[in-house]
Structure 1
Amino acid sequence: MRPTVHDIAAEAGVSLATVDRVLNNRPGVRAVTRGKVEQAIATLGYVRDVAAANLAKGRGYSLNFILPAGENSFMRGLEAEVRAAKAHLASERTEITIRCVPAFDASALADALAEARRQRPAGVAVVAVDAPEVVRAVEELRQEGIAVVTLVSDLPGSTRDHFAGVDNIAAGRTAGNLMGRFLGDRAGPVAVVAGSMLVRDHRERLEGFQAVMHECFETRLLLPVVEGQDDAALVEKLVGGLIERHPDLAGIYSLGAGNRGLVAALEKAGKAEAVCAIAHELTPHSRAALLSGTIDVLLNQDAGHEIRSAIRVLKAKADGLPVIEAQERIRIDIFLKDNLPNGQA
């Protein structure tokens, strides 16, 4: 059984009222008595149920999520996870609001963060764009005592509290190793399709990918990066152009979204089997392409885990509690058509 406040009182030899004062950091307790209570807490391994305490006091949490708008399937999946959490947590006095802003638009994102600051929530979770105005907006939130968690794409130069996302340099390095091994002795250059270099996750994936390709597969030609703005129609046009200019194209690393365009271009050109394609995020469209063989490997991050992590961290910050780093670490999943989840291989 989990220890209770009654167990703490008995262990320390004090009243329940004294235990309550110590747990809530209220005055009126002598230092020696406080020390006895804290020692009893440590001895018993007591962990306070802050959610239950807040429920009893009628205290709630207001959390703002700011996400990119558009047809990016992964981002829409992320939004669906936020909506599911919103419905689930309503009974726990957690109120979640969602705002979508144009993707890669630093000015619009800074404005949304400023609006969130005026609403004074307990915390804000945001898919960041790495720009000075966004860094300033995060700083202003923190100055108001509002916790900030970045989602998917980080903002390490800011005062944000936590990043809920994968190690994107490691993701890019993984893609580089897989690309080099899959291609083997097959001749031809490798192309990289990014969404935008304005977001750190895309820059870090590119950094990791290029580093491994140069270190381990230095004879392989890497073509200049093209930016598809995570737009399927633009990605299709760009990949079609790459295939026309480089008929011996051996591989494509799609480190952003817009993979419907990648798949369409490869299939239209009859290159679905000839070109090794490595992409990110398991969505219904990318799953189908993995099963058909047009995409060879998918690197995935668990959107549900990221949203749950962001909520846990924001609530912990609001309560002044430590963050359990191991619980919040987001792993990189590697999917082939043979190991898709839910038995759909």
Structure 2
Amino acid sequence: MNVVRSGNPSLNDVAAAARVSLATVDRVMNRRKGVKARTVERVLAAAVDLGYLSEEERDLLSAPRPAHIAFLLPMGGNPYLKLLGEKVRDVAETGRRDASPVRCFFIESFNAAAIAAALRLHSKWADGIAFMAIDHPLVREAAEEVSAAGTRLVTIVSDMIHPAREAYVGLDNHAAGRTAAYLLGRFCGSREGSVALVAGSRTYRTHSERELGFLGLLEETYPRLRVVGMREGHDDRNENYRHTLSLIDQNPDLVGIYNVGGSSDGIARALRERGKGDSVVFIGHGLTADTRRFLIEGTMDAVINSDPDQVIARALEQFSTSAPMNAAGLACPPLSMEIIFRENIPLLAK
């Protein structure tokens, strides 16, 4: 809320009467973060005494303001994260006047220093930050610093185990990996052969947890399937394409691929070029325009999905509480896991 007055008194007069800086008065009048409650009351009382504000305007300015929320997502070619970012920006553009102002920023992927810098930068204005974490000392240190200064932190999609973040919003990724292994094994049937994994990067906890879950169940239940290792494609379609060509050429008995991360289009392109689109079982994550197409044409067999609308809604719900949920001993349960096949693809929203 911007308050404008013609003539006297001025904001300088309010600052002098309240014994604060002009910058502090500006923050109070525009309901920005970083001003103590007692200072806000002193500034507003001075403004009313001087006639700069009416009692009604004072009540509006002293009422709790909606929290300002930032979403930080990795930039790059991952279609699911692009879709998530688009949906966050839709929320920002269509939000109610009394709802939390929301902004979305894309930062360099797989870069702990970039995430740490972004946390510090946006904590200057944001009351809460939802971000896809890298579990790295630089990120943990930045999280501890901004959390101690009063900015609430929620990890989304990929977690960071640290008390500075109050909740994680996303899948149980270990269970997601085991589910992928179960699906792949069932689709392979009685066949024996090699199975490959392609990930964005193990620097994301979500990818390493999916890998562990996948390997564990495959070893327990499908010993006839031999894992030939993990390739990191950094969620880049061209890297994933080259990795897949190499996997096919080096492993003539390849029967399955699990894409732990995103950018499945590179893998699908390589499978089609090598004539393996209908013989290699392909499991991936994230229902987007490209994975829908691959499911329909039969190149992909199943997609494990978490609804991006649920991710956003759950994160905003977390910030809407007056205190961190885990401060009261309440856990944020994992999001529901959707298993999408060609025959149950949801209709596109109009």
TM bucket, shorter chain: 0.7 to 0.9
C-alpha displacement of 1:320: 2.5
User: What's the CA shift for 1:326?
Assistant: 8.5
1:156-190 superposed Cα distances (whole Å, 9 cap, x missing partner): 13420000101000000000111111112112100
Distance 1:58 1:183 in 2: 57
Q: Given that residues 172 and 334 in structure 2 are in contact (C-alpha distance below 8 angstroms), is that contact kept between their aligned partners in structure 1?
A: no
Q: CA 1:146 to 1:321, structure 2 compared with 1: closer, same or farther past 3 Å?
A: closer
Tell me, yes or no, if the aligned pair for 2:195 and 2:227 is still in contact at 8 Å.
Answer: yes
Query: Partner residue of 1:176?
Result: 181
Q: Does the Cα contact within 8 Å between 1:172 and 1:206 map onto a contact in 2?
A: yes
Counterpart contact for 1:309–1:328, Cα < 8 Å: no
5+ residue gaps, structure 1: 1-52
Q: How far apart are the structure 1 equivalents of 2:60 and 2:132?
A: 28
Whole-Å separation in 2 of the counterparts to 1:308 and 1:195: 25
Within the candidate set 107, 114, 125, 1:108 is matched to: 114
Q: Is 1:146 equivalent to 2:151 in the alignment?
A: yes
Match of 1:216 in 2: 221
- Residue 57 (structure 1) shift: 2.6
CA RMSD of aligned residues (A): 2.2
User: Is the contact made by 1:54 and 1:60 (CA closer than 8 Å) also made in structure 2?
Assistant: no
Q: How far apart, CA to CA, are the structure 1 residues paired with 2:107 and 2:305?
A: 24
Q: 1:292–1:180: structure 2 CA closer, same or farther, 3 Å change rule?
A: same
Q: Provide the C-alpha distance between the structure 2 equivalents of 1:229 and 1:149, rounded to a whole number of angstroms.
A: 23
Q: Does 1:94 align with 2:94?
A: no
Preserved CA contact (<8 Å) 2:237 2:265: yes
| 1:74 matched to 2:77 | no
Counterpart residue type for residue 89 of structure 1: G
Is the CA contact (8 Å cut-off) linking 2:325 and 2:331 kept in structure 1?
Answer: no
- 1:224 partner amino acid: G
Query: CA 1:55 to 1:329, structure 2 compared with 1: closer, same or farther past 3 Å?
Result: farther
Query: Residues 6-56 of structure 1: CA distance to partner in whole angstroms, max 9, x if unpaired?
Result: xxxxxxxxxxxxxxxxxxxxxxxxxxxxxxxxxxxxxxxxxxxxxxx9999
For the residues of structure 1 that align with 2:231 and 2:173, how far apart are their CA atoms? 19
Give the structure 2 partner of residue 197 of structure 1: 202
Find the aligned partners of 1:306 and 1:258 in 2 and give their Cα distance.
19
What secondary structure, in the 3-state scheme, does the structure 2 residue paired with 1:130 have? coil
State the distance in 2 between where 1:54 and 1:160 align.
31
Q: Please tell me whether the aligned partners of residues 69 and 128 of structure 2 are also in contact (alpha carbons under 8 angstroms).
A: yes
Q: Is 1:242–2:242 an aligned residue pair?
A: no
Q: How far apart are the structure 1 equivalents of 2:263 and 2:348? A: 26
TM-score (norm 2): 0.78
Q: 1:80: Cα distance to partner?
A: 1.2
- 2 CA distance for matches of 1:84 and 1:326? 28
User: 1:285/1:144 Cα in 2 relative to 1: closer, same or farther (>3 Å)?
Assistant: same
Distance 1:237 1:338 in 2: 30
Number of residue pairs aligned between Structure 1 and Structure 2: 289
Of 322-331 and 204-213, more deviation after overlay is shown by 322-331
SS at match of 2:282: strand
Aligned to 1:268: 273
Alignment partner, residue 26 of structure 1: none
Counterpart-to-counterpart distance in 1, 2:224 and 2:163: 38
Note the 1:1-345 alignment, pairs <5 A: 57=63, 59-119=65-125, 121-316=126-321, 319-320=322-323, 322=325, 329-342=334-347
Which whole-Å CA distance do the structure 2 matches of 1:167 and 1:331 have between them?
A: 9
Question: In structure 2, what is the Cα distance between the partners aligned to 1:199 and 1:321?
Answer: 24
Structure 2 unpaired stretches of 5+: 1-58
**Contact 2:69 2:101 survives alignment (8 Å):** yes
Where 2:191 maps in the other structure, the secondary structure is coil
Amino acid at match of 2:347: N
Q: 1:113 to 1:321 in 2, by over 3 A?
A: closer
Deviation at 1:138, TM superposition (A): 0.8
